[in-house]
């Protein structure tokens, strides 16, 4: 009987059958009595089928997830599986970083400023702890307008709570009623609705993702929710139901994130939706980081790099071992993770135990890269799922076909490529990281012009890359100040960026300060100035000195130095290669073009650093903003969202008081309810 339904399930994901995907639920229910034991066993064939039934059909996987689910079930059931799943980022549920999140205490905070440990208000009206923060890069969004004036910028697949239940952004239509949580006098109620009046395509926007404890929802103006369900939640559920005596160890880059996954697995067994589970949880050991079954199996959740104590693992799952580019490209962090993998994680594996590693590829020498390099006997089954198919695709896709077109089609993915650059796209989206310098900048697309059209419509910044130390003088580094502007809103894939001026020279510190003063006076007080803060206390002190003393009265933005400036330059390099950069004809053109051609291995990179810093400030950077307070404030309007980072506000250096918005009421804060589907 089980073989019969395994073949039915595999037929449902076969692309070669010439049939549409079968509705597994209808096939099973037409063949078996749903009350029978045979039916219960059939729906437990794979993590995907079990997730579909336990959620009453509300967890609907895409084709590639069905494929992965079947392979997991087949190979783990045989024992000794070694599986790596390489998957592009955010084939999930993202929102843009300029979204405002309703926090504990009734204040609003930009998504880009939310940290692990913060408390957000969920759909229940309760504060819940943020377990993890995930940087997701640029993704396509929609612009959803409501009757009350809200303008929301979700990714296509982000779920919204409506009067008819959960709908993704792509499913919303004019007339839908979004559920709004009102909190008068801190007493949550769900008596408000806000009607959708329009749904239109939006621009690419920088996105971030949060994992929230317990409720997994936010009560916000705009939000984003992390979702790693198939492997980190549904696979342990399936495994412990099939083998209640076995032990699962799950590890992710953050201990809180891993414990959050553990809590969700535990709660499914405790709640036993649709009464299909036979595995039960012991009442005396029910922690999120460790719970045991009645047959003394269980699940341990821990952070990558941490200690793993207790029993060994019959199933070891590692989900996302790094959280951002900084960690991914750090040789120290790479070595730390590799040593943890060899000495701690892998040593916990029981005889004939299985390992599943799920990750987005960031760097050539990351954990997956090193495992693959040492796998001389081909023990590992590599499931590589590029966002755009190549030759010999595991899903039989045609070259160039999108992995999940219902969420990110070919056009959207190519727009992302234009924004983030080929180097980053090849790693994160194609799961094929390359050595630095393998992707050259196409300087033939750089447009040199004699005049700029309508420069008054541009947003301008002056960006300084400083070379003021003795060490820099030994290397012959230059100090460079570039005047860069754009004629479009941030995040637009068609934005034109112009380089209007560049000051470049080798000077003593006193001469650098004088040059910066004279340049600021020439640019005018309306032009923001960006200064990179070098690491350490001395770097911070020098940046503050320049902002407070040398450039006092100007709008100065201090940005932390990045370890890998080649990575930072990728969005600018992509814009150059796609013809979206022009520069005024001048003597400094030659030096900048040479640096672009020689990057990242050229003798100098000062002009590239200066311009890419300005480009990121204009298009990509999360600008710091004061928290919106309860007293005398309200949810930020779209007009305010449009001005955040537009460089039209007064200088915020040294500002101590929060920026307040006018309000008709000091007691009511409201926001649309978003988040993961809650079952």
pLDDT in tens, 119-134: 887 777 778 888 777 6
Proportion of the chain above pLDDT 70, given as a percent: 73
**pLDDT grade, residue 136 (50/70/90)?**
low
Closest CA to 65 of 362, 404, 329, 292: 404
Contact 378, 396 (CB under 8 A): no
Half-sphere exposure of 243 (CA within 13 A, CB side): 17
∠286-45-66 over CA atoms, to 5°?
A: 100
- Residue 124 burial (C-beta neighbours within 10 Å; 0-12, 13-18, 19+): middle
Q: What is the pLDDT of residue 243?
A: 95
Does position 325 have pLDDT exceeding 70, yes or no? yes
**pLDDT grade, residue 528 (50/70/90)?**
very high
- C-alpha to C-alpha distance for 449 and 582, rounded to whole angstroms: 7
Q: What is the CATH number assigned to the segment(s) 443-619?
A: 3.30.420.240
Q: What is the pLDDT of residue 317?
A: 96
- Of 97-106, 248-257, 301-310, 607-616, the least confident: 97-106
∠559-561-567 over CA atoms, to 5°?
A: 110
Phi, psi (5° rounding) for residue 490? -55, 150
- Of 289-293, 317-321, 558-562, 592-596, the least confident: 558-562
pLDDT tens profile 268-293? 999 887 788 999 999 999 998 899 99
CA distances from 32 to 25, 38, 42, 48, 328 (A): 11, 7, 9, 19, 49
Radius of gyration of the CA atoms of the chain, in A: 27
- Of 40-49, 86-95, 227-236, the least confident: 86-95
Does position 569 have pLDDT exceeding 80, yes or no? yes
**pLDDT grade, residue 153 (50/70/90)?**
confident
**pLDDT grade, residue 12 (50/70/90)?**
very low
pLDDT tens profile 503-516? 999 999 999 999 99
Does position 550 have pLDDT exceeding 80, yes or no? yes
As given in the structure block, the two tokens for residue 118 are 């913060």
Q: What is the CATH number assigned to the segment(s) 95-226?
A: 2.170.16.10
Q: What is the pLDDT of residue 66?
A: 84
- C-alpha to C-alpha distance for 137 and 260, rounded to whole angstroms: 23
pTM across the whole model: 0.66
- Of 209-218, 523-532, 618-627, the least confident: 618-627
Q: What is the pLDDT of residue 200?
A: 79
**pLDDT grade, residue 115 (50/70/90)?**
confident
Does position 25 have pLDDT exceeding 50, yes or no? no
Q: What is the pLDDT of residue 484?
A: 96
- C-alpha to C-alpha distance for 380 and 390, rounded to whole angstroms: 21
Q: What is the pLDDT of residue 204?
A: 62
**pLDDT grade, residue 61 (50/70/90)?**
low
Q: What is the pLDDT of residue 285?
A: 93
The mean pLDDT value of the chain amounts to: 76
As given in the structure block, the two tokens for residue 273 are 């939706």
Q: What is the pLDDT of residue 6?
A: 40
Q: Average pLDDT of 338-348?
A: 93
- C-alpha to C-alpha distance for 653 and 553, rounded to whole angstroms: 9
CATH class of 43-89+229-384: alpha beta
Q: Which residue has the tokens 């039934």?
A: 53
At what angle are helices 24-31 and 47-54 packed, to 10 degrees?
80
Closest CA to 280 of 297, 264, 263: 297
**Beta strand segments in 375-478, E:** 381-384, 447-449, 459-465
**pLDDT grade, residue 563 (50/70/90)?**
low
- Of 242-246, 295-299, 466-470, 568-572, the least confident: 466-470
3-state SS class at 187: coil
The domain limits of the chain are: 43-89+229-384, 95-226, 443-619
CA distances from 467 to 228, 557, 572 (A): 44, 18, 21
pLDDT tens profile 624-662? 322 222 233 334 443 333 333 333 322 322 222 222 222
């Amino acid at each position: 009987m089980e073989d019969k339904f395994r073949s039915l399930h595999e037929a449902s994901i076969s692309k070669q059958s010439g049939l549409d995907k079968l509705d597994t639920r209808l096939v099973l229910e037409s063949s078996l009595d749903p009350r029978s034991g045979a039916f219960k066993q059939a729906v437990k064939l794979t993590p995907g089928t079990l997730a579909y039934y336990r959620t009453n059909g509300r967890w609907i996987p895409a084709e590639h997830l069905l494929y992965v689910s079947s392979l997991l079930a087949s190979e783990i059931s045989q024992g000794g599986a070694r599986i790596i799943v390489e998957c592009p980022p955010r084939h999930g549920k993202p929102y843009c970083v300029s979204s405002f999140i309703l926090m504990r205490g009734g204040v609003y905070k930009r998504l880009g400023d939310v940290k692990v440990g913060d408390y957000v208000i969920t759909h229940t009206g309760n504060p819940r702890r943020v377990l993890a923060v995930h940087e997701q890069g640029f993704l396509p969004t929609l612009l959803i307008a409501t009757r009350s004036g809200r303008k929301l910028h979700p990714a296509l697949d982000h779920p919204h709570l409506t009067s008819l239940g959960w709908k993704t952004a792509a499913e919303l239509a004019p007339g839908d009623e979004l559920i709004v949580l009102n909190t008068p006098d801190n007493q949550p109620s769900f008596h408000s609705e806000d009607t959708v009046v329009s749904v239109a395509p939006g621009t690419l926007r920088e996105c971030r993702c949060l994992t929230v404890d317990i409720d997994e929802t936010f009560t916000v103006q705009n939000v984003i929710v992390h979702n790693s369900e198939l492997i980190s939640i549904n696979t342990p559920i399936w495994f412990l139901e099939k083998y209640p005596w076995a032990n699962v160890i799950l590890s992710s880059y953050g201990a809180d994130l891993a414990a959050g996954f553990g809590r969700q697995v535990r709660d499914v067994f405790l709640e036993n939706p649709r009464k299909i589970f036979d595995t039960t949880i012991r009442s005396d050991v029910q922690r999120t980081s460790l719970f045991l079954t009645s047959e003394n199996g269980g699940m341990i959740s821990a952070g990558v790099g941490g200690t793993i104590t207790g029993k060994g693992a019959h199933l070891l799952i590692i989900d996302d071992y790094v959280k951002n580019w900084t960690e991914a490209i750090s040789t120290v962090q790479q070595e730390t993770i590799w040593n943890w993998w060899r000495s701690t994680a892998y040593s916990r594996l029981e005889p004939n135990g299985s390992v599943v590693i799920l990750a987005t590829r960031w760097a050539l020498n990351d954990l997956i890269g090193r495992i693959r390099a040492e796998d001389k006997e081909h023990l590992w089954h590599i499931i590589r799922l590029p966002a755009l198919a190549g030759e010999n695709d595991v899903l039989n896709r045609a070259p160039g076909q999108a992995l999940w077109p219902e969420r990110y089609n070919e056009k959207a993915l190519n727009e992302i490529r234009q924004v983030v650059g080929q180097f980053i796209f090849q790693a994160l989206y194609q799961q094929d990281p390359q050595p630095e310098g393998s992707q050259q900048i196409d300087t033939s697309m750089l447009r040199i012009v004699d005049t700029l059209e309508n420069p008054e419509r541009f947003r301008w910044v002056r960006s300084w890359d400083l070379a003021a130390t003795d060490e820099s003088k030994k290397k012959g580094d230059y100090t460079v100040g570039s005047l860069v502007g754009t004629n479009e809103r941030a995040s637009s894939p068609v934005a034109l960026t112009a380089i209007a001026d560049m000051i470049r020279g080798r000077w003593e510190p006193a001469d650098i300060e004088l040059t910066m003063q004279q340049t600021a006076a020439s640019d005018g007080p309306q032009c923001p100035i960006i200064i990179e803060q070098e690491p350490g206390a001395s770097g911070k002190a020098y940046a503050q000195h320049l902002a407070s003393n040398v450039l006092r009265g100007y709008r100065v933005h201090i940005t932390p130095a990045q370890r890998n400036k080649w990575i930072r330059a990728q969005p600018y390099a992509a814009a150059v290669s796609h013809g979206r950069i022009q520069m005024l004809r001048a003597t400094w053109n030659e030096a900048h073009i040479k640096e672009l051609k020689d990057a990242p291995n050229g003798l100098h990179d000062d002009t590239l650093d200066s311009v890419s810093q300005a480009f990121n400030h204009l298009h990509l950077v999360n600008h710091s903003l004061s928290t919106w307070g309860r007293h005398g404030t309200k949810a930020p309007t779209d007009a305010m969202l449009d001005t955040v980072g537009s460089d039209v506000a007064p200088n915020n250096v040294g500002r101590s008081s929060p920026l307040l918005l006018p309000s008709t009421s000091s007691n009511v804060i409201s926001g649309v309810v978003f988040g993961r589907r809650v079952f």
